[in-house]
Chains A and B, each alone.
Chain A
Amino acid sequence: MAAEVNKQRPAERLFTLTCCLMAAPVIGLSKNDIYASISSYLDQESDFARNKMFERDKKSLREMGVQLEVIESSSFEETDTSRYRISKDSFAWPSGFQLTGEHLRLLELAAKAWNSQVLAKPAQSGLIRLRSLGLVEASRELSLVTPRLLARHASFAPLADAIDAGKLVTFSYRKPDGATSIREVTPLKLRFIEGQWVLLAKQVDQIKNFMLRRIISKVEISELDGKITRQDEVNLVEEELVTFVSNNRARLIVTKGTEAWWHFGAKEEQEVVIHFMDEALLAEDLMEYGADISVLEPLSLRLRVENGLNRVLESHA
């Protein structure tokens, strides 16, 4: 029973492993060095069990943002060709990185938006890490609005995993015109735009946006590493999307006193101008208002709405 009491807990093992690797010399530590330093590894009954535990811990550390470096060299002893250390960059917070109480309040709200959805746990653990930067209290009560992000697409979790692991993925993608193709991309970022989840991903050498609702197959995560992408490339694409949206302009007529009239805030006039990211998505929103709305321009949007409604009639004839 006494041995049970002293048994190292998994969190202690991960913490001690991190400490040992942080304190490692420049040439890193061999597996045997690590096994000799941490009681959980020593307690294992076989090398197989020890190795399995170590592999699992390496994965956990990487998932938690601790960059484990593996140094391979034949100049080490035969049993020690791989040596391990932690990149100091993992812990190098930018100088002057500081959050105010208001920043923290907003981050709390952002984490809360996940509710019990797929990214709720990493959002909370990220928040804990940020709180360690100082005893700054959230400046006031949380907003009176409870934001709730919903991520129900089956593709969401594997894409988040692939972003984490920096791996290539493949999936079947259907464009609004019905054209379907297999895409092999490096997922970079998931964003929620116009009520839709959008994946920012690099396909060959171009960064593109993919709507998750248009991914029609299972997302397969490849063993292959994804393409390296610089942050400034991502920023540029995001800026281009903002410009694209601001240039996409639709003019609508809404019937006074209807739900559409209230929704689009037409006030006294009946004509409204709105900006949009995706014409097919906007057409869906407009079709829902039926006869209460008509499109003045662009013509392509007007036709899309008319064609959509005609397709409804044809399919239900």
Chain B
Amino acid sequence: MPKQEIDAEGLFNLSLSIVGLVLKDGPMLTSELARHFGFSEKTITKAVLTIANSEDVGRYETHFYVDEELLSEGEVDFSTARSSLDRPPLLSKRQTTALAAGLDYLAAMPQFLENTDLKEVREIIGSGSAPITSYQPVGSESVLLEIQRSVDSRMQISAEYVNQLGVKSVRTIDPLRVEFIGKRHYLRGWCHTNLEVRSFRIDRIISAKTTGGPISEEALAADIPVEVFGAVSDELIVEIQASSEASEIFWNFPALDVKKAADGSSSGKIRVGNLQALGRHVCRYGGEVLVLGPPEAREAVTAFARKALGDQSIAENED
């Protein structure tokens, strides 16, 4: 959707870019430029007027002759006068950093592993030619494809899903969007079991097939929350302390009262829906996260660690 607003630096950048394109390809319609650059025609007109008003007042000379009558009719045409500017500058370091990091990120996505166009454009932009690592969906490549197709065709799916506790279930889901966040794919969809939008890690979906039915009206009307963890029901407030490196644990839960100490460590509270899940989240940091309370949360963490170390006496049905 075209943007309606632009700041001064953005308008300056757009003006430079319009100069480059029009001098190269000739006169164009404002509608054509609006579509090409992704802005409204009003913003394009503003950018062209920026070019028109580039007068050297000391010399009483203009840098560009812009046909303002044509502009009022929706056409952009100009020629150079005093100016020797005929294209925009090269990408700034920050623009390069942003685009290169984005391309780098795409390169690690499994769907782009063999993409030669991506390899070429990464070389052009300077984001390196080979991904350092890839995020293999491994077992779930075909699942990902099926889900992508369902999102595209707006068809409901039936998915066999293993939740973070290892419990398998079959869910009917109206798939809305597939996101790649961090190093994981998530399906954001309307769950017919919970009657709300939920996030499903695609590496936990064992199989997915279309039910043949379209996605529901509720799904179409639902808002997709920004955070993937969603709302937590039956929650428990757990107080934790994390070293600087493990402080990212606060990003994985709804967090409150988070305070950062001078040594970079953080302390605060998180809302937890399931204690066994807390065990795995805390254990991954190998002692860098300390659960201060309540006692049942500490016990859940030690139970998970003991079981991971091979203690078979831990009850299997713990929740």
Q: Which A residues fall within an 8 A CB radius of B?
A: 8-12, 14-16, 18-20, 22-23, 33, 36-39, 42, 60, 63-66, 90-93, 97, 99-100, 102-103, 106-107, 109-114, 119-123, 125-135, 137, 143-150, 152, 160, 163-164, 166, 172, 174, 189-195, 213-214, 216-217, 231, 235, 238-239, 241-242, 245, 258-259, 261-267, 275-277, 283-285, 287-292, 304-317
Contact = CB atoms under 8 A, between A and B. Distances in A.
Contact of A309 (B59, B135, B283): B283
Contacts of A190: 97, 101
Interface in B32-85: 32, 36-38, 47, 50-51, 53-59, 63-64, 82-85
B251 to A, nearest CB: 6
Given A97-B124, A192-B101, A125 B179 contact: no
Contacts of B118: 106
B50 A11 contact: yes
B117 A109 contact: no
A128 B37 contact: yes
Could you tell me the dominant secondary structure of chain A's interface residues? Answer: helix
A16 B20 contact: no
Interface in B159-189: 162, 164, 166, 177-185
B2 interface: no
B106 A109 contact: yes
B209 interface: no
Contacts of B290: 315-316
Interface in B1-53: 8-21, 24-25, 32, 36-38, 47, 50-51, 53
7 contacts: A23-B63, A128-B37, A149-B102, A193-B104, A213-B248, A217-B264, A287-B308
Contacts of A245: 132-133
B95 A65 contact: yes
Contact of B98 (A12, A111, A259, A307): A111
B304 interface: yes
A194 B107 CA distance: 12
Given A11-B8, A110-B105, A132-B19, 4 more contacts: A16-B63, A112-B102, A129-B95, A262-B203
Nearest to A86: B89
Nearest first, the 10 closest Cβ-Cβ pairs linking A and B are A308-B286, A265-B138, A311-B287, A110-B102, A65-B92, A126-B95, A195-B183, A216-B264, A132-B17, A119-B98
Contact of B36 (A131, A289, A317): A131
Contact of A195 (B106, B162, B182, B310): B182
Contacts of A112: 102
Contacts of A92: 90
B219 interface: no
A312 B94 contact: no
B97 A119 contact: yes
Contacts of B50: 9, 11-12, 15
Most buried by A among B37, B132, B183, B184: B132
A174 B181 contact: no
B12 A288 contact: no
A188 B59 CA distance: 42
Interface string B204-215: 101000000000
B117 to A, nearest CB: 4
A88 to B, nearest CB: 9
B284 A287 contact: yes
Contacts of A23: 56, 63, 82-84
Nearest to A38: B57
Interface size class of B (residues with CB under 8 A): 35 or more
A19 B36 contact: no
B95 to A, nearest CB: 3
B111 A99 contact: no
A277 B144 CA distance: 25
Given A265-B136, A285-B284, A131 B58 contact: no
Contacts of A316: 290-291, 298, 301-302, 305
B139 A66 contact: no
B245 interface: yes
A147 B125 CA distance: 19
B192 interface: no
A307 B90 CA distance: 50
Interface string B130-142: 1011011111100
Contact of B97 (A106, A125, A189, A193): A189
Given A113-B102, A275-B133, A18 B95 contact: no
B61 to A, nearest CB: 9
Given A9-B8, A174-B245, A312-B305, A134 B124 contact: no
B177 to A, nearest CB: 6
Contacts of A12: 50, 53-54
A274 to B, nearest CB: 8
Contacts of B287: 308, 310-312, 314-315
A19 B82 contact: yes
Given A127-B99, A147-B106, A309-B309, A19 B63 contact: yes
B92 A122 contact: yes
A103 B286 contact: no
Nearest to B122: A106
Interface in B247-288: 248, 251, 263-264, 279-287
Contacts of A97: 124
Given A38-B57, A107-B99, A312 B282 contact: yes
Of the candidates B19, B50, B82, B89, the one having the most CB atoms from chain A within 10 angstroms of its own CB is B89
Nearest to A40: B57
